[in-house]
Amino acid sequence: MLSGSEIMKLIEQGKLVIEPFSEEIVRENGVDLRIGDEVAILLNNPTPIDPTRISDYDLREYYKVMRLDDEGIVMQPYMKVLVSTLESIEMPGDIAGFIELRSTFARLGLSIPPTIIDAGFRGQITLEIHGGAFPVILRKGVRFAHVVFMRVEGKPKPYSGKYQGQRGVTLPR
């Protein structure tokens, strides 16, 4: 795991790019990520979706995508949403990241599934957030997730998948 000073060195050398960047998001051993301006609410649709045939479906029947305004969004109990990060990240070819929820939000009952940023990935990050037992407000620009960085051993294969360069909330492809 890289320390905050090692992360700053990578940023200063242009090997790790975070836009928009502010030194205050670099922490002791990671970087805080802020909520971006787009959210997708997962809708209750009883029709099964086949992940191997995503292009056969009208995803508007499964997600409601919307812009976040200054009021944010109220995460109702047990609601699930996708959010994009404010930050766009360009990862070096030998560094990967692991994202977790900041403890304040976890203590409010929210959770996110394990999320990896692959070496070589570039773009905004789409995260799934699960609501807890009571409503919680999510606002654009609030630090809500934390990414820790690690070096990839051996000969890394940089990410070249279908989500490369994503902007805003990116639905399944």
Is 37 part of any domain? Answer: yes
Is 158 part of any domain? Answer: no
Burial class (CB in 10 A: 0-12, 13-18, 19+), 48: exposed
Is residue 12 annotated as part of the catalytic site, yes or no? no
Is 22 part of any domain? Answer: yes
Is 99 part of any domain? Answer: yes
* pLDDT at residue 156, rounded to an integer: 82
* pLDDT at residue 130, rounded to an integer: 97
Q: What CATH number corresponds to the domain at position 8?
A: 2.70.40.10
* pLDDT at residue 92, rounded to an integer: 97
Considering the candidates 38, 87, 128, 153, report the single residue annotated as catalytic.
128
Range(s) of the domain holding residue 125:
4-44+59-151
Is 49 part of any domain? Answer: no
pTM of the model: 0.92
* pLDDT at residue 173, rounded to an integer: 92
* pLDDT at residue 47, rounded to an integer: 94
* pLDDT at residue 157, rounded to an integer: 87
Per-residue pLDDT of the chain (173 residues; tens, 9 = 90+): 999 999 999 999 999 999 999 999 999 999 999 999 999 999 999 999 999 999 999 999 999 999 998 899 999 999 999 999 999 999 999 999 999 999 999 999 999 999 999 999 999 999 999 999 999 999 999 999 999 999 999 988 889 999 999 999 999 99
Q: How far apart are CA 153 and CA 170, in angstroms?
A: 29
* pLDDT at residue 70, rounded to an integer: 87
Contacts of 91 (CB under 8 A, 6+ apart): 16, 97, 117, 118, 119, 120, 121, 122, 159
